[in-house]
Structure 1
């Protein structure tokens, strides 16, 4: 199966964005510019809305940049930090490319009682299909996240915690609006 996005290109984008100031919003703007240069027909550069997201206890802000049934790209982060469960995706690989901060994680099923190496700016990791991790996202951490596979199968995990535990209907509504906008955009360009 062919995909439109190359994780190695996303890693190059993340490495080029490292060091750009976070507080002024420059990091996010520069990252989106670099992504749009690499994928001009895919990345939505129009000012988007940040959406609150709580999945697996991990609470943060997400900005949707590309969404299709087989791939997605978002920027995710937290100014104050968060921790929780990565999720277990049977049909999707989740790639993370750290732009700023630090992410600590550990494999939930291994016999190893030590954490995985910390993810630092410019680093990348992949949560392969069927695996799960515990993680801590340090304050001021932001990353590119790329999902590859049967993307609609990730939506229940991405929405259930926000909807049923937090009862945060507005975030679910905003997420749905952003997904629909990106799907319509993709259909207009490729349909």
Structure 2
């Protein structure tokens, strides 16, 4: 009997400690509170992000059209026209622009299966303005983004379509292809197609899409670091003058 009791006592599991139970509940309550605070903070910031925008979409559309008229068939001339006008319109105390047009500032971008080259005119937390295109043509997935994207065709032609559409959308020089945030499309840029692309929203959250192909497919790490360096540099330049 004594041996049996001893065995039973030896195999009995100790009761859960009240202190451990309270610690478990406290941890999960803290995580839940942090999640709720993060959600409402992000919702609040999203509701006021408009106050940090500097560029005006109708102005950029007119600027793209005037660049086409000023330098028909001359992509370099169009880009020069755009950058010169932006520099004259927006003071450096309000927004930082990468206006040097140095050829070394161009880099490849592989995203969603499409490939082209891009030049960053402006990058901040809530806006970016770039030149993107290719003389060879490309096709791919638009990605799902946290920003509205305005694609101003300067040269060439872009096609796009959404699931369920049985006809393609066609965008030619002077047209703007607006992609509201969250919209997904397949798109194709024909040979010698270049565009002025403007995005407004949460730009850092777009970066994973722009860099994922480098990590999983092309393994072009020099381009990865160049993209990160130039984009990060321009965002920092803008933060230093108070442009979010």
Common fold by TM > 0.5: yes
Contact 1:64 1:75 in 2 (8 A): yes
1:45 and 2:96 correspond: no
- Render the CA deviation track for 1:13-66: whole Å, top value 9, x for unaligned: 100111515567222222211222232433221234101000001100000111
Match of 2:80 in 1: 29
Q: CA separation in 1, counterparts of 2:220 and 2:121?
A: 22
Between Structure 1 and Structure 2, the one with more strand by share is 1
Determine if the alignment matches structure 1 residue 54 to structure 2 residue 110. Answer: yes
RMSD: 1.7
By relative contact order (CA 8 Å, sep 6+), the higher-ranking structure is 1
Structure 1 position 186, deviation (Å)? 1.3
Structure with greater helix share of residues:
2
The answer as to 2:13 corresponding to 1:13 is no
Please give the alpha-carbon distance, in whole angstroms, between the structure 1 residues aligned to 2:202 and 2:75. Answer: 35
Distance in structure 2 (CA, Å) of the matches to 1:176 and 1:22: 31
Map 1:171-186 → 2, pairs under 5 A: 171-186=223-238
Q: Do the aligned partners of residues 129 and 22 (structure 1) sit closer, same or farther apart at CA in structure 2, a change above 3 Å counting?
A: same
Output the TM-score relative to the length of structure 1.
0.91
Which of 1 and 2 has greater Rg? 2
C-alpha distance in 2 between matches for 1:24 and 1:12 = 17
How far did residue 176 of structure 1 move?
Answer: 1.0
Match of 2:138 in 1: 82
Task: Could you tell me which runs of 5 or more consecutive residues in structure 2 were left unpaired when the two chains were aligned.
Answer: 1-49
TM-score, scaled relative to structure 2:
0.72
Gaps of 5+ in 1: none
> Contact 1:70 / 1:149 at 8 angstroms: preserved in 2?
yes
